[in-house]
A and B are shown apart, each in its own frame.
Chain A
Amino acid sequence: MAPGDIANPAGDAVLAAAARKKTRKSSQFDGDRGFVSEQDWRRPSVNATMKTLHIVLLVLLVVVGVGPMLLLAKYAITPTQDIIRTPLAIFPHGVRWANITEAWNDVEISKYFLNTIWLAIGSWFMQLLVATTGGFVLSVLRPKWAKIVNGLVIATLFVPSVVLLVPLYLTILDPPVIGTSLINNFFAVWLPAGASAFNVVLVARFFDSLPREVFEAARVDGAGPFRLFWSIVLPMSKPILGVVSVFAFIASWKDFLWPMLVLKDPSKQPLSVRLPAIAAQTDLGVFLAALAISTLIPVVLFLVFQRLFLSGAGLGGAVKG
């Protein structure tokens, strides 16, 4: 979600380059030492300055990073009149829980919520399927043509996704083989989601780092490629599958333009598409409650799987020089 929502592949390129060089094992942001030494810390002036700066930063992060979320949470249960007249006052006329129930039931957020979850699960599955099988071919089975496929996959990282927009849309309108338009079909979102070069590269690099001897031993013991894939490679790859999974799920939850184009039937649309559409004719308090509901799952996922998120996001840091 760099500014510019559909610009992701470019950002992915760096991460992929990073992943190619080396994969960081841990999300811990503790190096051997920083630019402030133990001696520095013992000097009162340094100690005071640094601590002040740290506290200022913490306050800023709370106000800027969490502040809007807290406000949103407050609005979700505030009467509309209070939101409009005194947006920063703390419940001047009490709490209105009905915002949430009205959003969930009357505005049918429940339905769009379910759509969002379905879309995310399907996209997650497709991405995992393509990335693991593809990575297995490119890294473990290594047929002679693997290099070409690998090159073609990596090449797509350098194509801005806006180039794909129109032809991909026409492909969904008239897909090959199937013969019927996929518009208003969840597969229109699920299938293209699988074409994430970043995932394939990330998983293949991780497979590269697995010990070859284990594969050889398994082959000697008579394991075929399917057995090798399912019982050896996948169980050994849980860390990277975790990273790919959370990012696939969150990316799908965030996606807006593509689902808007291919899911025209409102009853099929996810929250991200539906929210802007209902903004005008929905009571403000109820609408902000709907926004809060849409934010809840990604934020909770992030808080639960922080290490996975942060280690995945930090992969770009492995690029040096």
Chain B
Amino acid sequence: MSAASALPRSGGRPDGTVAVEAAGPPPVRRVRRNPVTWVKRGGLSTLVFALPVLVIFGVFSWWPIVRSVVMSFQKTNLVAPATWVGWDNFQYVLTDPDLPTAIRNTLYFALLALVIGFPIPLVAAVLMSSVKRLKGLYSVLAYLPVVVPPVVAVLLWKFFYDGSADGVFNTILGYVGLGPYAWLSSPSLAMPSLVIEATWAAAGGTVIIYLAALIGVPGELYDAAEVDGAGIWQKVWHVTMPQLRGVLFITFILQIIGTVQVFLEPYLFTGGGPANATLTILLMIYNYAFGRSLGGDYGAATALSVMLAAFLAILSLVYFKLTSSWSKS
């Protein structure tokens, strides 16, 4: 580590950058560095500029990530020092009788969100891309729900979902002779209700992503398809869709990653009820850590979140492996 000690110590940060760097390729011949030349060459001002990133990310991102993994093996409460408990937290979480319910509900939410929420933005965006006039109006209208604060959206929809015959949705459905439905207080309808609101709130963002991808489709491809006698539907199916494949692959996995971490809707709409019908994994994590009056079980909460993160990481890796092999063929 003599190379490292020859380098300026950059304020003694314990982030290991200096050491890591010294382990890299051997230093090329250059002017021997000492603190004075380092400052003259702008080393100090570079460090000043780097300070916000290093401090903010160090304290509020890198360190908490490391600490999360450490804490999942510890029993932590706010009074006594943390004690090492090995796999106890994981064991506790995995044997929690609520866990299978939460996993089932979370997967159900993700699946419903995919069935309802994946095709809608795609169809809307493809159709919007063919609009000649007022295209801007279409995109503004589509994106509007995205800027509505999520809490407001949920609270407003909660009112819409009122289970009485005079509820907004029940009134509308009543015009065509349906209902009234109990919506959020019905164990079977609660989850779909959450998904519909979540789709409403998020679809606009996906529409805009697709629209941006659609303008990137080279016009020559359509020209060529027309020369071959393709109709509109064939152009959409054989040119537009394949060109969107890359974006679709990514929005697909991102939507799953996002929906598996659903929190706001179950927390504010139903609090996990009725009868645990909307208890999701994030809600469990929240309840472990913050939902108890006796003080949080931080070990269990971090253990579950670390497992969730690992699951999502593996899922994405497998997914990208699979899709990249499809793309090649």
Contact = CB atoms under 8 A, between A and B. Distances in A.
Contacts of B259: 2-4, 7
Nearest to A88: B171
A226 to B, nearest CB: 7
A155 to B, nearest CB: 9
A261 B291 CA distance: 11
Which of A141, A165, A175: most chain B Cβ within 10 A? A165
Nearest to A287: B155
A195 interface: yes
B71 A167 contact: yes
B159 A3 contact: no
A5 B263 CA distance: 6
A321 B109 CA distance: 28
B65 A159 contact: yes
Given A36-B232, A256-B264, A309 B147 contact: yes
Given A34-B222, A295-B152, A134 B209 contact: no
A239 interface: no
Interface in A166-204: 166-171, 173, 175-176, 191-192, 194-195, 197, 200
Contacts of B223: 33, 37
Given A256-B151, A279-B155, A163 B306 contact: yes
Interface string B205-225: 100111111111111001100
A317 B139 CA distance: 14
A32 interface: yes
Interface in B38-84: 42-43, 45-46, 49-54, 56-57, 59-65, 67-68, 71, 76, 78
A87 B171 contact: yes
B117 to A, nearest CB: 7
Contacts, number: 378
Interface stretch (A66-74, A91-99, A103-111, A210-218): A66-74
B103 interface: no
The secondary-structure label for the interface of chain A is: helix
A236 interface: no
B298 A170 contact: yes
A279 B159 CA distance: 11
A57 to B, nearest CB: 5
Given A141-B49, A275-B152, A35 B130 contact: yes
A30 interface: yes
Given A31-B214, A152-B62, A314-B211, A4 B262 contact: yes
Interface in B308-329: 308-309, 312-313, 327
B150 interface: yes
A101 B113 CA distance: 39
A153 B282 CA distance: 25
Nearest to B57: A195
A191 B60 contact: yes
Contact of A160 (B142, B222, B245, B312): B312
A84 interface: yes
B246 interface: yes
Contacts of A53: 127
A313 B148 CA distance: 15
A162 B122 CA distance: 29
Contacts of B246: 319-321
B289 A1 contact: no
B193 interface: no
B219 A310 contact: no
B308 A303 contact: no
A254 B215 contact: no
A316 B146 CA distance: 15
Given A7-B261, A24-B212, A35-B239, A145 B247 contact: no
B49 A313 contact: no
B302 to A, nearest CB: 5
B213 to A, nearest CB: 4
A294 B156 CA distance: 12
A288 interface: yes
Nearest to B164: A84
A114 interface: no
Contact of A35 (B63, B149, B216, B236): B236
Contact of A31 (B128, B139, B204, B216): B216
A115 interface: no
28 contacts: A3-B117, A7-B259, A31-B219, A54-B127, A65-B145, A72-B156, A85-B166, A134-B50, A143-B50, A153-B53, A156-B62, A160-B257, A160-B309, A162-B308, A163-B309, A166-B71, A170-B298, A171-B59, A197-B57, A254-B149, A275-B155, A291-B156, A298-B149, A302-B147, A306-B136, A310-B139, A317-B210, A319-B246
Given A39-B226, A58-B137, 8 more contacts: A2-B255, A7-B258, A34-B129, A54-B127, A144-B21, A162-B261, A254-B151, A295-B148
Interface of B: 17-18, 20-21, 42-43, 45-46, 49-54, 56-57, 59-65, 67-68, 71, 76, 78, 109, 113, 117, 124, 126-132, 134-153, 155-157, 159-160, 166-168, 171-172, 195, 198-202, 204-205, 208-219, 222-223, 226, 232, 235-236, 239-240, 245-247, 250-251, 254-255, 257-265, 268, 282, 285-286, 289-290, 296, 298, 301-302, 305-306, 308-309, 312-313, 327
